[in-house]
A and B are shown apart, each in its own frame.
Chain A
Amino acid sequence: MTVEFSLWALLQSLADGAKWTVALSALAFLFGGATGLLILFARMSRSRLLRQATRVYIEVFQGTPLLMQLFLIFFGLSLAGLEVSPWLAAAVGLTLFSSAYLAEIWRGCVEAVPRGQWEASSSLAMSYLEQMRHVILPQALRLAIAPTVGFSVQVIKGTAVASIIGFIELTKTGSMLANATFQPFLIYGLVAASYFLLCYPLSLYAQYLERKLHVSR
């Protein structure tokens, strides 16, 4: 039985799904950023053990498909007797994924701050945390803004895999509508256009920041 949908109704359903895409992205990005910052400090700490552990963490999340990470969290946790909703599994999975990438992006930015900045601040008797807080991170932050905004685009697109574990976001909404309307080309075209509308402004913004922060201090 085919259900008739008006274009307006279709768009409204997709907008509903897109809300969840945005929510999941924002959550993954914020928690991923906070976790990433901790990972960053551990990755650069003086303890060899912490450095190695975080290196493995980063390698694992960068070296396996996001989809497998979600499967393992979703099915793994239920195997362990923990009932997790697709929403929670997706949020946790994307947070961990984002944290690994952001930590690595930011580490590159911290290491791009010239050695002389460390030496000058050391010779002023500043402690490691004081150096980080007042000298290194402000400069690394400036370098990090553009690639970080750029990565947020990857997160938004990455949320699509959450549809496979049954989380109803933009892509899942699209596939349900496609099944109901038998108009997959139209529906997936609209889904793709929605992703583009979410991502393109961010890409533009990242490019703008890249240019702007390159010329000024």
Chain B
Amino acid sequence: MSLVDIRGVHKHFGSNHVLKGIDLAVEPGEVVAIIGRSGSGKSTLLRTLNGLESIDAGEIEVDGTALKAHQDSAEQLRSLRLKVGMVFQQFNLFPHLSAGENIMLATTVVQGMDQESARDTAKAMLLKVGLQDKFDAYPDQLSGGQQQRVAIARALAMSPRVLLCDEITSALDPELVNEVLAVVKQLAAEGMTLIMVTHEMRFAREVGDKLVFMYQGLVHEYGDPRELFAQPRTPELASFISSVM
């Protein structure tokens, strides 16, 4: 059985039919890169996977926790979100907490870890993203790249089964992109299951195990990134690739 199973997912925003029946399965340890034009529904799809957007039809299952349309109780959402971490384009660190406290908040409050283990976990996570000396720094004292790495550490501290990344380098100055991509690459190498929406085509091709090309609310192409980039099967993907590369 797949770790993530998306079956027939539909989503409307008012009269705007944004997801038109998405089917996708993600195996443990897989790195899935989602690409597509602006407005094709990439973010919306990702956000349905941890219940930030409800779905109108279909089913989402992550590691045995299922979410159906109109069946998303607080308890179900909580159990889903404990398995799914998310990193955002705008970092969304808590500005009133230090880097260390950002990481410790959910592990203590949600998982009930004691202060000491939470502190140890936070330190270990900061070490993982190369920021072991920034435990006491506040978000506004960190560069964008550092903030994004803290955000990754914060998500990892919850030991998610899968990590969602929505254009996590798009808000960064170009010289800061690589430090974040390096962290993601290392996570991939360690076997973390990753689903990432990205505009970094080279990264998607190098690190991705699977490529998803979304077009008008559907998975238009799906397969091995190296093959698809070399030989797109549809004119839509071909034209998308030529427009971004």
What residues on A are CB-neighbors of B50 within 8 Å?
122-123
B92 A130 Cβ-Cβ under 8 A: no
Shortest Cβ gap from B205 to chain A (Å):
27
What residues on A are CB-neighbors of B12 within 8 Å?
none
**Nearest residue in A to B94 (C-beta to C-beta)?**
A135
B52 A119 Cβ-Cβ under 8 A: yes
B70 contacts chain A at the CB level, 8 A cutoff = no
What residues on A are CB-neighbors of B140 within 8 Å?
217
A139 B110 Cβ-Cβ under 8 A: no
What residues on B are CB-neighbors of A117 within 8 Å?
92, 94
Q: Please choose the segment from B55-63, B81-89, B224-232 that sits at the chain A interface, where 4 or more of its residues have CB less than 8 A away.
A: B81-89
What residues on B are CB-neighbors of A122 within 8 Å?
50-52, 81
Q: Which of A116, A126, A139, A217 contacts B88 (CB 8 A)?
A: A116
Q: Which of A123-150 contact B (CB under 8 A)?
A: 123-128, 130, 134-135, 138-139, 142
**Nearest residue in B to A119 (C-beta to C-beta)?**
B52
Q: Which of B18-58 contact A (CB under 8 A)?
A: 50-52
What residues on B are CB-neighbors of A120 within 8 Å?
86, 88, 92-94, 151
Over the window 100-129 of chain A, the binary record of Cβ atoms lying under 8 Å from chain B Cβ atoms (1 yes, 0 no) is: 000000000000001011011111111110
Chain A contact-residue range equals: 20 to 34
- Given A119-B88, A217-B140, A125:B158 Cβ within 8 A: yes
Chain B contact-residue range equals: 20 to 34
* Cα distance, A3 to B242, chains bound together (Å): 97
Shortest Cβ gap from B166 to chain A (Å):
10
B245 contacts chain A at the CB level, 8 A cutoff = no
Shortest Cβ gap from A23 to chain B (Å):
34
* Cα distance, A124 to B51, chains bound together (Å): 11
B154 contacts chain A at the CB level, 8 A cutoff = yes
Please give the residue numbers on chain B whose beta carbons come within 8 Å of chain A beta carbons, in ascending order: 50-52, 74, 77-78, 81-82, 84-86, 88, 90, 92-96, 105-106, 109-110, 138, 140, 151, 154-155, 158
List 5 other contacts, CB 8 Å, given A123-B50, A124-B81: A116-B92, A119-B52, A120-B94, A121-B106, A125-B158
21 A-B contact pairs sorted by A residue (CB < 8 Å) = A116-B90, A117-B92, A119-B52, A119-B86, A119-B92, A120-B88, A120-B92, A121-B94, A123-B50, A123-B81, A123-B86, A124-B81, A124-B85, A124-B105, A124-B155, A124-B158, A125-B81, A125-B82, A130-B109, A134-B105, A217-B96
